[in-house]
Structure formats: structure tokens, C-alpha cells
Structure 1
């Protein structure tokens, strides 16, 4: 496990590195269920992350950027409680204050960590707090599983419906193979001068790779004025699909979104404006469903950027049903998206509840057992 695997309160094992079987890491770095680890070196914003190991993998070790914290059992009832306590907002702020170094390379040293205070209620209350927060965390985990399953269902449904392998009731007949260039008009965007203040901070969303992260595109953290659009960008009409055609993200994923409100966009993005043969939502879903094929068309430019060449995109083959079937397929996939969105919102609300519980329970504002005067102890790694 490395610093990239440690999140606030938990480990992320979606991307891990392995060692050869004949390489034996130090036994002292072997992870055991219940171990609490702290990230001692990272960027200034991320250093000090704390997580508990819950046997996410059958065998794992941690590297030198992580430190195992061991607690005095006479004072700390469980590592579960310690993990929650060290991930409270007050503890996160205190840990960050201990970091020394630059914005890009910061460290927390043991001598400073040993003096870290946090409120420590009686052990019975620690256990009650840990149990209550663990229950909410369990619900969050269950919701994560549901979201992942629903996304897998959506992906499988796209593979079936967007290829004609499975037909919705009431539809038959062959699909027509057409080149993408026959079905859409390609528009190029741009970036106006950064030095002209009058071009920026307007009301028109300006889409780049960083804001092309949702299926529906209608807002951005960066906006242009009308003057800025005229000087160096371009508007994308409602119903167009914005597609990232240049950027490092193209080495791993296809970013495409349906414009639902007029936006402008930069030079790394193309707007694909469908003609009368295409249902707009169908095109966006189709590009998502064909992501693997599109990724194989990506070439490299410079050290990091991937490129989807416009000529290649125009020749990309689309299997096209009649518009009523396009609309029905789009409606089916939109329904699945709505279910995913509902689950994600439920998870967000549950996460907010957990954060509120942590704020109340880990500060003593709300007590779960008979109140006893809390003490301030020192965590001893």
C-alpha cells in the first residue's frame, strides 16, 4: 500500500502495485486487520490522511510513506474508534498543522505526532461511538455496491442495445452502418486571451476536460463573457455532444457529454452537432458505449496528451436504427441513469449524516452513554 491507496478513513485498493513472489518485504510492514495507518509524506493538502485496514486484500504490506499507529489499550478501546477520531474535522486540521515542507512535498514527523491531542471519552462510550459510526459506514458501503452494480447493468445494457444484439419490444429490421461524419457536424472550440479580464468570469460556461465529467453538460467552474466567446471560443448548441479529442485523460477514458444549456468550449473539445437522422441522446450514449473502440484510436502527441484525430472520428462507424428505436433505447438508458443518480444522492445524504454524527459524537456534544467528564489524551504511535 502506498500513499495513493490511503483515503480518509479507508483504503482504496482499486489500483495497487505488486512485488514478485520471491521478494519478501519486511514482516513489520505486513498489514493486519484493524491496523491504523497515517500518511506521513504527501502534498500539503493530503499529508496526514488516516485509514484503517479491514483486510481488503488477503496479503498486503505498506511502504515507507505510511506509518502504523499503535494505541495504548488502557486508554483507546479500539482502532475503529481511533480511526474515526483521527478523521474528525478537528483532527484533520490538527494533523495538517503539524506538516512541514512545501506545498508539493510535506511531511509529518513522529516527534510532532506524539503531541497530537484528541478528546478521549471513557472506553464504553468509545465503543458505542465506533459502533454507531460503523453502522452508517456499513450503509455507505452497501450503497457503493448498489451503485457499482447499477453501473455494471447500464454498461451491459448499452453493449446489448447499442449493437442491436438485444432489441426492445416492438422493434425489428436491420440497422444501417453510417460514418460518424455523415451524421454530425464537427465544431472546434478555443481559449481567448487569459490576459484580457473582460473575457473571463462571465455567465457562459466554458467547457474543458475538467468540466466534461457528467453525461449532461450545462455548467463549469470557468465562465466566459460574450466578448470572450467572440474573441476566441465557440458556442455549442443544445443537443450537441461535446467530446474530448485532446488530453492526457484520453489514455484512460472517453469524455463525452450532451449539451443541455448553451455553453462554449476550448480547443481540446469538439462539438458534434447531430443531423436529423440522429437522436442527440443516442449519439452521446453510443460514444460512451463504444469507449473501448474509441480508445484504441487514440494516438499520442507530446509527452502526455492523447489525440482523437478528426479524420479518424469522421470515419468511425455508427450502427444506426430508425429514430423511434433510438428514442426508445435512449429512454431505457436514461431510466437507468436516473436510478444511479438517485442512489448517488442517497449516498451523499448518508455521507453528510455520517459527517454530522462525527462532528457531534467525537466532540462530546451528543453522548451515547452516561456522561462522564472527557479527558484529553495523546495518541502514541
Structure 2
């Protein structure tokens, strides 16, 4: 990687990342079976593009934390890089003043202080060139994943330490604006999460509604993996990476070239809910409310599909699957080992829900959908500021624009 013209800027070095790191390792490969306790448990869903998101965080006991932390001690100032899943390439700098447990889907990077400033590396990994390099390095893989060896082979254009510090300081001013928007997003997500938990359990009732709720099983209010006929398939395909960890549908691929093996894919229609069943996608919240497919859509075999039954609002059903309670209960029910652990279908069939009359379901869904719209608007604004920053990064981190560093006596 060079300045775009095949040259290394004067005074800079072209190195491999492993040459300038003291620490390159990932988090624990041990998956806790129980949650709750004083220590945060951070996974790839908490590593956003440029920051750590604590709005949806699980915790573990001191005993479990000590077991994890002994093998994967994260220090303040370390770089955290998502190495598995749809968010592979997301990077954050650890500014937390506390110990926490880290899952193996995230890598820990710590620079050699005589060669590398961690804040500079943080900005470098966020750059469009490095993000493009990461995506190219994973192209053709069935599962998006970076190995530690691949991370160590990342090509880095390395300026002298004083120039690293100056570049990082300039770009951090943009990060301040992004941090403000991030905090607003976190507050809005927390507001929605708290309101959803209250409204969906009946702890908070909306004005004008006073009817009794019924306690039912999810299998009574939703059809699970409906058996639609394949002749209605018109090419709409949803891969796991087409859904976000916030439960949003990012895109629908056109996959009319699929000719064989159709029976194995998940099948869905508009207004169905998709839920990831495999680790770590389920724990990270992958899923979506389906809109925009023509006729029948197909998707990853690792999705459960829920379709609302009579007198059940489809949006209300979707929001039931987005609660912390649903995620934590599903996580503890997972079966299998290692990267093949999955939520069993029986968990969905037997999951308890409190069902209000249809008009109240619709009112609850409307309020939560409005909050989703406000969150989407903040996300769009944050993306715009991020894009402006990227333009400057491209100039500074390639050496096309050189910063002036004051000489010291």
C-alpha cells in the first residue's frame, strides 16, 4: 500500500502490522452458559465503526470473567478489531477504565511504543483503503472471517512517531463530532430498549387500553418456518450479512441464478420476521423484519422465519424477538459446540409472550417503529459526518497531504 502512485512517502516505511505490534490475539473461545454479574461481556456486536457500543451489553460473573481475562487481558488504549461475522473490519479503541471479558470474534492489537502510536493505528484501520483491503482479503469466503495471521500481514504505511501523533490528533477532532452523535444514538437506543421491555410485557400500558392480556407460547402466535411453495420464488435472496445486529434489513440480493438446492433455504414473505439461529449471529442480534420482496423470498439456512397468525400484528411479533430477555434466554438454550452452537426450534415454540388485544399490539408496534425511524435518521447523519472524515483520512494516511510537525530541541 502506497500513496496511490506506488511510492512510499519520504520518511515513511512500508511494513507489515505484525512487525510493529507487541500484542496480537483474540478474545476467549469459551462461550459462557450463564450471564449476569459485575463484568461486561463484549462481543463483535459491541464493536462499531470507530467506537464501543454499550447500549446492548451482557455481563458475566467474576468467576467467568477471571477465566476469560486471564487468557485475553484487554488494556486501556488497546485496539479492538472485529474479525468474524458481518461486522468484520469494525474497529474501536478501548477507552474503558475497567476490565471486561472479550469474545473470540474480536482481536486485541497493541502497538510497540517505540514504533507505533495506537491512536494512529486506530485511524489507519478505519481508513477506506484498509477497509477495502480487509473486504478484498475475505472475498470468496463462505463465512466472513479474518485470522490473526491475516491481520498480522496487513500492509501499513508508517510515518515517524511525531507525525503519527499529529495525524491522529487532527482526525480525533472529527471523532469528537462523531462521538456526540454516537451518544445521541446510544441514548435513543436505550430509550427504545427500556420502552420496548415495558410495553411488550405490560408493565407500562398505553392510554386508552385496559383489556386483559393472555399468556401464550410463541408457537401459538407465530408460524415457525412456514412451508411456502417454491414456485413463488422471484429472485429475492437475503444472506446473513444482509441483516444488521440492530435487526434491520440492509439489502435484498437478486439471486435468480439459483437453480438447485432451493429446498434447503429459509422461505419468507413480506412482514415475516427473520431470526439468526447460529452463534455468534444470534447473540449479536442478527435478524430483520422483511419488507420489499416480491412473492416468496429465500435466505440463509441459518435463519428461523416467524409469520404472525390471526389477530397477531406482524410488527409487534418482530419486536418481541428484539428484547434483551428473548436474546438472553435464547443464548442459554443454544445446543452444539464451538462455532456450531444453534438456538433450537423448541426454544421458539415454548417461549412465553404476553399478548394484548390486536389494537394495543398495533399501537405498541407503531410507537416502537417511530423510535426506529428516529434512530435511522441519527444513523444517516452520523454516516454523512463519517464520510467527510474519510475524505480527509485518505489524504493524511497516504502522505498525499503532509502535516507539519514542530521540531523539538
Normalization by structure 1: what TM-score? 0.63
- Report what 2:317 is aligned to: 283
Contact between 1:189 and 1:268, CA under 8 Å: does it hold in 2?
no
Question: Quick one: distance in 1 between partners of 2:167 and 2:282?
Answer: 44
Whether the aligned pair in 2 keeps the contact of 1:189 and 1:234 (CA below 8 Å) is: no
Shift in Å at residue 359 of structure 1?
1.9
Q: Is the 8 A contact 1:240 1:259 kept in 2?
A: yes
Native 8 Å contact 2:217 2:350 kept in 1:
yes
Which residue of 249, 252, 258 maps to 2:280?
249
* CA contact 1:243–1:270 (8 Å) conserved in 2: yes
Shift of 1:56: 4.5
1:350–1:324: structure 2 CA closer, same or farther, 3 Å change rule?
A: same
Contact kept? 2:218, 2:352, Cα under 8 Å: yes
- Secondary structure of the residue aligned to 1:273 is strand
CA distance in 2, matches of 1:50, 1:314: 37
Alpha-carbon deviation of 1:330?
0.7
Q: Does 1:239 find its partner at 2:277?
A: no
Does 2:253 match 1:215? no
Distance in structure 2 (CA, Å) of the matches to 1:79 and 1:226 = 45
Q: What CA distance in whole angstroms lies between the structure 2 residues aligned with 1:226 and 1:330?
A: 35
1:255 positional shift: 4.2
Residue matched to 1:168 = 206
Kept after mapping to 1: 8 A contact 2:222/2:309? yes
State the Cα deviation string for residues 54-99 of structure 1 (Å, max 9, x = none).
574489xxxxx85543459xxx9x98568657875678999xxxxx
- The Cα RMSD (Å) is 5.3
What is the distance in 2 between the residues matched to 1:242 and 1:30? Answer: 34
> Which residue is 1:344 aligned to?
379
Preserved contact between residue 236 and residue 255 of structure 2 (Cα < 8 Å): yes
Which residue of the partner structure matches residue 99 of structure 1?
none
Q: CA 1:227 to 1:137, structure 2 compared with 1: closer, same or farther past 3 Å?
A: same
- 1:174 aligned counterpart, secondary structure: coil
Secondary structure of the structure 2 residue equivalent to 1:301: coil
Q: How far apart, CA to CA, are the structure 1 residues paired with 2:404 and 2:288?
A: 51
Cα 1:274/1:225, change in 2 over 3 Å: farther
Aligned partner of 2:112 in structure 1 is 69
Q: Which residue of 1 aligns with 2:149?
A: 106
Q: Select the residue among 247, 264, 267 that pairs with 2:298.
A: 264
2:367 is paired with a residue of what secondary structure?
Answer: helix
The equivalent residue for 2:362 is 327
Distance in 2 between residues matched to 1:328 and 1:233, nearest whole Å:
33
Q: Secondary structure at the match of 1:318?
A: strand
Q: 1:142 aligns with which of 180, 184, 199?
A: 180
Q: Report SS of the residue matched to 2:209.
A: coil
Deviation at 1:267, TM superposition (A): 4.0
State the distance in 2 between where 1:279 and 1:266 align.
25
Aligned length: 331
Q: Structure 1 unaligned segments of length 5 or more: list them.
A: 44-48, 60-64, 95-102, 193-201, 371-381
Structure with bigger gyration radius: 1
Kept in 2: contact 1:297–1:308 (CA 8 A):
no
Unpaired runs of at least 5, structure 2: 1-22, 28-43, 85-89, 101-107, 134-145
Q: Is the alpha carbon distance of 1:19 and 1:204 closer, same or farther for their aligned partners in structure 2, counting shifts above 3 Å?
A: same
Counterpart CA distance in 2 for 1:223 and 1:151 is 33
Distance 1:91 1:256 in 2: 28
How far apart in 2 are the matches of 1:224 and 1:298? 36
Kindly indicate whether the alpha-carbon contact (under 8 Å) linking 1:184 and 1:275 is maintained by their aligned counterparts in 2: yes
Q: What residue number does 2:341 align with?
A: 305
Q: Tell me how far apart the structure 1 counterparts of residues 358 and 187 of structure 2 sit (CA, whole Å).
A: 29
1:181-217 CA-partner distances (Å, limit 9, x unpaired): 3322233579x9xxxxxxxxx9623345444435344
Residue of structure 2 in register with 1:359 after alignment: 394
